[in-house]
Amino acid sequence: MSKPKTKGKPSAGKAAGANRTRKWLKSLAEMEYKKMILYPLVVFLLALILLAVNFPILGIDLQGGVVVTAYGVDANPDQLAKDLSAKLGVDVRVESFTGVDTKGVRVYAPVGTDPTEIIQIMRETYPDAEYTHSEVQPTFGEIAQKQGLRAIALAFIAMAVVVFLFFRHPVPSFTIIFSALSDMAIAIAMMGIFGIELTTATIAALLMLIGYTVDSNILLTTKLLRRKEDTVEDAYLSAVSTGFTMSTTTLGALIVLWFISTSQTIDNIAIVLIFGLLADFMNTWVLNAGVLKWYLSRAPRGGSA
């Protein structure tokens, strides 16, 4: 069916460019499956420990509070926090941020503070700034928290059911589900380290992660289980090359997004996805691959999905 080669076919150019990666991938392909399973599990446990000691801070939309954002303000956040705290009589926290064409600060104040008062005080020093504010009561924060948890739990279960329906084998299905769980855990642990708040937006990003990370796992599992004309190593290499292309394009797009946007919502969604995708590199191509190798070596005729 295939036609004779025409010029500019990708296989030739690619091989020249990515020799070192190839070698590394080859060593991955030949790695012993016990190690492949062990290392990611250690990372997962580390993430869990990190989560236990340093869980990300809840954003104001999940625990209540007031935030005033001023755009077009170039201020020393510590000094501003001191000034505002003194004038308002409550402790405020100030964070500065830089976008492509604008600088600004975000002022976080406890529940019950009047945002218009903060704006009034700031207007005295920065009359030309553009202000926005939002405030959330703890009761609503609680509702949002509960719903966030419920959304994640249900989405996870739904994903698990769909994966199971598609593959119908407990070991591969369970590994995909576990990979997604580990991706999420690592992403949340990274959020804790980098001080990214858990908000409704980042919860959305975590849910999105389910979709993204399951992609590459499904690809790998499909190739390894369904592609019987190749050896396991060859199938793995072919899956890895596709998977890396997938992940790098997505990562590239997300990094660009993160750089350009000054919207906190989009920034946070992008960064959490970046964390998750990085974690997924390991969980798919090392952990899941290791389990599948072990699974296939144990039951050579196992995959008929």
Least Å distance, CB 212 to another protein, is 7
Nearer to another protein, 38 or 87 (CB): 87
Nearer to another protein, 50 or 119 (CB): 119
Least Å distance, CB 126 to another protein, is 14
Nearer to another protein, 85 or 261 (CB): 261
Least Å distance, CB 63 to another protein, is 12
Local structure of 261: helix, strand or coil: coil
Q: Are 109 and 119 in contact (CB under 8 A)?
A: no
Nearer to another protein, 163 or 282 (CB): 163
d(CA 230, CA 233): 8
Least Å distance, CB 204 to another protein, is 5
Nearer to another protein, 37 or 108 (CB): 108
Among 278, 152, 302, 297, CA closest to 226: 302
Among 6, 5, 11, 9, CA closest to 238: 11
Least Å distance, CB 64 to another protein, is 8
Provide the strand spans (E) within the chain.
65-71, 93-98, 103-109, 130-136
Q: How far is CA 37 from CA 40, 170, 279, 285, in A?
A: 6, 17, 14, 10
